[in-house]
Structure formats: structure tokens, C-alpha cells
Chain A
Amino acid sequence: MTEVVSESPEVTVLLVDDNPQNLEVLYETLKDKGYRLLIANEGEKALDLAHRHQPEVILLDIMMPEMDGYEVCRRLKADPETADCAIVFLSALDDLQAKVKGFDLGGADYIAKPFQSQEVIARVRTHARVIRLERELQARNRELQGDQTRILNSISEGIYGLDEQGVIEFANPAAAMIVGAPVEELVGRNFFELHFATGAENPDSLPVQATCRQGIPENQRNIRLLRADGQGFPAEYRSTPKQEDGELRGAVVLFRDITAELAKEQALQEAQALVQEQRDQLAHTSRLTTMGEMAAGFAHEVNQPLTAITNYARVAKRMMARDEPDLDLLRQTLDKMEAQSHRASEIIRRIRRFMKKPAAGKEILAVPVLLEDTRQFAEVDMRNNDGGIEVVIEDGLPDVLADPIQVQQVALNLIRNALEATRSAGSSVPVRVSAGRAGEGFVKIEVRDHGVGLPEDAEEKLFHPFYTTKDEGMGIGLATCRSLIQAQGGEIGFERPEDGGACFYFTLPVAGREVESPASPEA
């Protein structure tokens, strides 16, 4: 009988009666039942105690001087601190009207005097339990709401709950912050009209529309939304349909202002562009350096056809000086001159193309053509006694996607290094340039020499700027090569072949490889 109340020692019961005898009886009835009992013999005192202790149950006498029970009840219900107390009226007035009035004022129950102690105990217990449960429930509710609010408040993304027309049913503080209007002003407004200039007339094509109307989730970046003051801002949003019992009930929209992000991205892009520009600049400088080193070779190369042209011209003049010039022979000689002049301009064209300043950008390249061109280029620089350059291409080699000038620059650099190493070693084994497939979607180009080989610490230093093993070297060659090959999406490295010399290689991505390599289905 007492177990329930004893389990809840904090349950407080306030007894209010102007009659001390009644109070005593009530007190005697309820004491030792595990309640904390408070006693008041008049209305004011009762209100004061109730306000301070928030009792679960108040047994309240109706007929009291000064302030009657109805008035006390009215005031208790008006005070939010005490509004939830269960008020049980006690009165001898055992008529229907009195009871109805008590219930109208918010009373929970009614006990007629003279009361039965068992009835008092039972009713107090019941109401105490109800109030306790109610209070617990409210506490839990508050807690949950608090959590939810905290979560919604702490999310930096704006959140809207929209109905199927796009009317904002819910907005979190972040939404209010982003949009620049208090939550209360946002709720009830139409999302499309609020955020889009054309929202009122032509909402059909707008973002989120498909989610609201058809339940299709959306996700877009860098759309333009209007703030409350009509100014636009770049936003990213994600909208998911809100469904209840399989029916579309609008959408939930998460959105954020990406102004700062875009600015960062912009800054990053600018920095990348700068790096790219500097790399191109360095590559260009390096090409000019290479050309400078090869100047004597080029002069020789251009002088050959020029010498031939001069000779042929002299021969032609002599032929014409004869009484009966052999026109056929003369024409042949002029043809030869023409061929030599094409040869000279071809050499100059090749030099100019190589020295051209900004990289032309990536193209689909045939590796054999590129390497043959580079070989001819490198031969300009060959000295007497050099063993030469062999180019070996694997059959059916796919095209690559790369910047032709930069790739040629790397190949030329490696070939020239190889020639120099060969020369230093006094070897006459030709430098071997080979190209073949390497793994998935790459072509590997190797430059192999039988020269002096590589220093012990090459692994650590070789591709570092300003590291060089050559007396006149600046040490930017290989560092530039690496940066150029990385820009093509390839790799560069070297090996020490067992039979001496060195082998440098680089890889280039096969053109169109993203399109052509779907996983083959299991047979």
C-alpha cells in the first residue's frame, strides 16, 4: 500500500484548510506514507508554499475566509511554476455546481467532506503518480527538444522544412543567419519567392522544386540564392523529400553560403595557375639553356644545307655561262638547292617550335613520331665518335596524352645526358631509346646508356634542383624534367642496369584511357 509513495520520497503534498482540526486529520492520514507534507491554513500562505515547493498534489479546501479555494486554484493555475499541480478540492459542498466549477478552474479531483482516509490516501497516491509521470515526461520532452535545438542550432548549414508548395515550415538559426532574417520571419514564407527573383512567376525550373513536387532529391553547388535584403549569394544545397506514410509532404533543404569557399578555391586556382606559369617559365628557361648549349650543333646543322646551296648556286651559274647550257642538269641542280633550302627551314622550324614560350597544352601524341623528332634534335648535339642513338618502339604502341614540347624537352634532356655519360666513359655503345606499354594505361619511355653510371647518392639527390654532377651544369635539368612529367600525369625515375651505365625512364598516360577500360565481366 505504501510502496509506491515510499519509492518517491520527493513527492510533496500541500494541505490547505482553515480548520486546524481538518488539517490535523489530513496530516494524520497522510503522514508516514512517504510524502513530504506541507500545511497552510489560508490562501496566501498556500500560494506562497506552492510557488516555492511545487507540490505534486494540493488538497485544497474550498470554503475559506479571505481567499477561497477557487481563487487559490485560479491563481495556482495562472502561475507557470504551479500550473501543473494536481489540485484536489475538499469540501462539504457536495453539490454538482461546486464540483463543476472546481473542474472548470483546472481542478483534478474532488473529495467530499467528511472524507474517508482511505479515499484520501488512494486519490493522493493516484494524482501524485500521474503528476510525477507527467513531470518526468515533460522533463524528457524538454531534454529532447533541448538536444534537437542544440543540434539544429549547432549545425552551420541552414535547414529548411518546406511543404509541398515550398512554404517554409521550419528554419534553424543558421538558416536565419545565412538569409539575414529571424527564424520567425522565415517561417511561413515561400522558399521560391524568398530566394529567387523569378520565384513568384516561374518557379518550375528552380532548384528544390523537383524535390517538393516530385520527391526527387537534388544536390547542386554554386547556385545563386537571394538573402532577405535581396542580395544574392552563392550557395550549395541538398534537398531530400519529406515523406509521411508514403506520401510526399514537401522537402528538407540543407544549404550553406559558399562565398568564402569559392574565394578559397579561387585563391587555390590562382596559386595553381601561378605554379603552372612558373613551371612553364622554368621549362622555357631550361629549353633556352639547352638550345644555348646546342648552339654550335645547330649552327653546324643549318650550315650544312647553306653550304650545299651556295655550292649548287655556283655550279648553276657556271652551267649558265656555257654556250649551250645543259638545261636538264641545271634543273636538277636547282631542285637540289630547293631541297636543301627546305631542309634548312625545317631545322629552324624545329628549333623555333622547341623554344616556343608557353606550353601548347596536352595533345594526343604518337610516341614514335615524337621520339624520332627528338632523336634528330639530339643528333645535332652529337660529337664525333659518339656511338649514336637507337630508337626502338614496341609494336602497336598506343598514343599518349601529353604536351609535345615538354615531353620532347624531357626526352631530349635524358638523351643528351646519356650521350654525355657515354662520351665521358669513352664508350661507343649507342644510346638506346625505347618505348613500350607499362602497366595499365601508361606508355614507358626508357633512355639507356653504357656511360659512366650514376653516383651512389643519386636516389636522394638526382631530381633535386641545383644538384649536378657536371662541371658546367646548373642542376635544373632533371628537377625540371620531373616537374614536367608530373604535370603530364606520369612518373620519372632511373635504374642502374647490371651491366653498367644508367637507364632513365618516364611514363605518360595513354590517350583516352578513362573511356576505354571498363572492368571486363567475369566469363
Chain B
Amino acid sequence: MTDIQQTVYVVEDDEAVRDSLELLLKSDGKQVKTYESANAFLRDYSDKMAGCIVLDIRMPGMDGMELQKKLNEKHSILPIIFVTGHGDVPMAVDAMKEGAVDFIQKPYREEALLEKIEAALKQDLEQRKSLEEKQEIIRRVKSLTPREREIMDRMIAGQANKVIAIELEISQRTVEIHRSRVMHKMGTHSLAHLVRMVLSVKDLID
């Protein structure tokens, strides 16, 4: 997973805040990309982006909350740290409900911000890793033939080979061959592992 280069995306309308934050994060060794508006970020967005967003909640034009909604629609998994001003706490709470990882109030201490950014990057890394795992599982599930898929579903449902053979009106031997192909294609030897894998992507298949 180390091949992924994480970037901190700063979306901030205030030029000085944007510039100073960029310098600060770069001096801390982060890769930084800045945007002066939510729209500018949205234009640039792709699901290849890795890292986190530091997003000012108060901006003219599209605000931080709206950008968050748009990104959710695009199934973005980029963690968002909202930067709020004094008195924006209710907005920040709403943002958290929408899935933001954290918020920080301006003016902030550098340590606090960097900590939150580190946590967000870690979360991104994990999410990205699990996402890649899921995508691998999905890729494997999709490589199954319809018959193999049907037998796997019955295996996960806990049906014994004999029951599957009777219900599908095939020989028990045939069931056994399919079963070993499923285990091979899904890359596991354990039924328990198979069940875990398939359930983890249950929402994404079918």
C-alpha cells in the first residue's frame, strides 16, 4: 500500500490562510494541493485522489457543507476535516453527521491540526486498503460462473453438499468440483473466511 502518495487538499477561500497553511503543511513534509473554492476542487476531483481534505466551512459560493454532500454523492472516501470559525459549531455537528472525520476551530494550534491531519490520513489509508481488498473480492466474485456463484451463495447460507446436490438435481460429486473451484477462485481454503469476505462486499454485489 506504500505506493499510494497521499495529499492534503486544502479548500480555503482566504488567500492568506490558504498560503500559510500550504507552507506549514509542506514544511511538515506533506504533499499539499490548494483550491480557492469548493467548485475548483470539485472540478479537479477524481476517485484516484488519496489523502484528506482540509475544508473551510464558510466560503462564498458553494460552502464546505455543500461540497461534502457533492462528494458523498460521488462515493468519495476522502476524510474531511472541517475548519470552522467561532459560532459555527452547530454547522460542524451537521457536518460530522454527514461523515466528516473531524473539525477544528480557527485559529488553531498547529499540533492539533497536524494531529487531526495525521489521523485522517491514517483513516484514509485504512479505508483505501479495505476498499482495495473489497474491490479484489468483488473482482473475484465476478470471475465466478453463474453456477459457481449459485453454489457459493448456498455454501454461505450453510447448505451441505448433499442438500445442494438434491436441490439443484446434480450429483454430489459435481457439487464438490464446483465447490473447490469457488474456493480456489476466491483464494481461500476456509469456509469461514469466504463467508467473511463475501459479507463484507454484500452491499456492493448483486
Query: Do A and B bind?
Result: yes
Bound Cα distance A296, B27 (Å)? 31
Taking a contact as CB atoms under 8 Å apart, the answer to whether A314 and B16 are in contact is: no
- List residues of chain A with CB within 8 A of the CB of B88: 296
Further pairs besides A336-B16, A384-B62: 16, Cβ < 8 Å: A299-B87, A303-B86, A303-B106, A311-B23, A312-B23, A314-B24, A314-B110, A318-B27, A333-B23, A383-B58, A384-B57, A384-B61, A384-B64, A384-B65, A385-B62, A388-B60
Tell me if A142 counts as interface (CB < 8 A to partner B): no
Nearest to A299 among chain B residues (CB) is B86
Q: In the complex, how many angstroms separate the beta carbon of A2 from the nearest chain B beta carbon?
A: 117
Q: Which residues of chain B from 82 to 132 have a CB within 8 Å of any chain A CB? A: 85-88, 106-110
Nearest to A314 among chain B residues (CB) is B110
- List residues of chain A with CB within 8 A of the CB of B24: 311-312, 314-315
Bound Cα distance A156, B144 (Å)? 121
Tell me if A291 counts as interface (CB < 8 A to partner B): no
Q: Which residues of chain B from 1 to 30 have a CB within 8 Å of any chain A CB? A: 14, 16-17, 19-21, 23-24, 27-28
Given A314-B110, A386-B60, the answer on whether A304 and B86 have CB atoms closer than 8 Å is no
Tell me if B197 counts as interface (CB < 8 A to partner A): no
Nearest to B27 among chain A residues (CB) is A318
Total number of B residues with any Cβ neighbor in A under 8 Å: 29
Nearest to B86 among chain A residues (CB) is A299
From B20, B87, B106, give the contact of A312 (CB < 8 A): B20
From A300, A310, A314, A336, give the contact of B86 (CB < 8 A): A300
Tell me if B63 counts as interface (CB < 8 A to partner A): yes
Taking a contact as CB atoms under 8 Å apart, the answer to whether A307 and B63 are in contact is: no
Bound Cα distance A300, B56 (Å)? 11
Q: In the complex, how many angstroms separate the beta carbon of A423 from the nearest chain B beta carbon?
A: 13
Q: In the complex, how many angstroms separate the beta carbon of A58 from the nearest chain B beta carbon?
A: 115
Tell me if B49 counts as interface (CB < 8 A to partner A): no
- List residues of chain A with CB within 8 A of the CB of B19: 308, 336
Taking a contact as CB atoms under 8 Å apart, the answer to whether A311 and B86 are in contact is: no
Given A306-B107, A319-B27, the answer on whether A311 and B59 have CB atoms closer than 8 Å is no
Q: Which residues of chain A from 379 to 416 have a CB within 8 Å of any chain B CB? A: 382-386, 388
Taking a contact as CB atoms under 8 Å apart, the answer to whether B85 and A299 are in contact is: yes
- List residues of chain B with CB within 8 A of the CB of A300: 58, 85-87, 106
Bound Cα distance A60, B21 (Å)? 135
Taking a contact as CB atoms under 8 Å apart, the answer to whether A308 and B85 are in contact is: no
Tell me the number of A-to-B contacts counted with CB atoms below 8 Å.
85
Nearest to A300 among chain B residues (CB) is B85
- List residues of chain A with CB within 8 A of the CB of B14: 304, 308
Taking a contact as CB atoms under 8 Å apart, the answer to whether A384 and B59 are in contact is: yes
Taking a contact as CB atoms under 8 Å apart, the answer to whether A303 and B16 are in contact is: no
Bound Cα distance A68, B106 (Å)? 131
Q: In the complex, how many angstroms separate the beta carbon of B60 from the nearest chain A beta carbon?
A: 7
Of the four ranges (under 10, 10 to 19, 20 to 34, 35 or more), the interface on chain A belongs to 20 to 34
Bound Cα distance A333, B27 (Å)? 12
- List residues of chain B with CB within 8 A of the CB of A382: 60
Bound Cα distance A194, B72 (Å)? 100
> Digit string of A328-344 for contact with B (CB within 8 Å is 1, else 0)?
00000100100110010
Taking a contact as CB atoms under 8 Å apart, the answer to whether B107 and A343 are in contact is: no
- List residues of chain A with CB within 8 A of the CB of B16: 304-305, 308, 336, 339-340, 343
Taking a contact as CB atoms under 8 Å apart, the answer to whether A311 and B87 are in contact is: no
Q: In the complex, how many angstroms separate the beta carbon of A59 from the nearest chain B beta carbon?
A: 120
Nearest to B38 among chain A residues (CB) is A384
Bound Cα distance A308, B20 (Å)? 5
4 smallest CB-CB distances across A and B, nearest first, come from A384-B63, A311-B20, A296-B87, A300-B85
Q: In the complex, how many angstroms separate the beta carbon of B66 from the nearest chain A beta carbon?
A: 8
> Digit string of A291-325 for contact with B (CB within 8 Å is 1, else 0)?
00001100110011111111110110011000000
Taking a contact as CB atoms under 8 Å apart, the answer to whether A385 and B23 are in contact is: no
Taking a contact as CB atoms under 8 Å apart, the answer to whether A307 and B61 are in contact is: no
Taking a contact as CB atoms under 8 Å apart, the answer to whether A315 and B59 are in contact is: no
Nearest to A298 among chain B residues (CB) is B86
16 contacts between A and B (CB under 8 A): A296-B86, A303-B85, A303-B86, A308-B17, A308-B19, A308-B20, A311-B17, A311-B23, A312-B23, A314-B24, A315-B24, A340-B16, A340-B20, A384-B58, A384-B59, A384-B66
Given A319-B27, A333-B23, the answer on whether A311 and B110 have CB atoms closer than 8 Å is yes
Q: In the complex, how many angstroms separate the beta carbon of A231 from the nearest chain B beta carbon?
A: 68
- List residues of chain B with CB within 8 A of the CB of A314: 24, 27, 110
- List residues of chain A with CB within 8 A of the CB of B87: 295-296, 299-300
Q: In the complex, how many angstroms separate the beta carbon of A378 from the nearest chain B beta carbon?
A: 13
- List residues of chain A with CB within 8 A of the CB of B85: 296, 299-300, 303
Taking a contact as CB atoms under 8 Å apart, the answer to whether A315 and B106 are in contact is: no
Choose among A304, A384, A388 the residue with the greatest number of B CB atoms under 10 Å from its CB: A384
Choose among B21, B23, B65, B108 the residue with the greatest number of A CB atoms under 10 Å from its CB: B23
Nearest to A311 among chain B residues (CB) is B20
Q: Which residues of chain A from 236 to 289 have a CB within 8 Å of any chain B CB? A: none
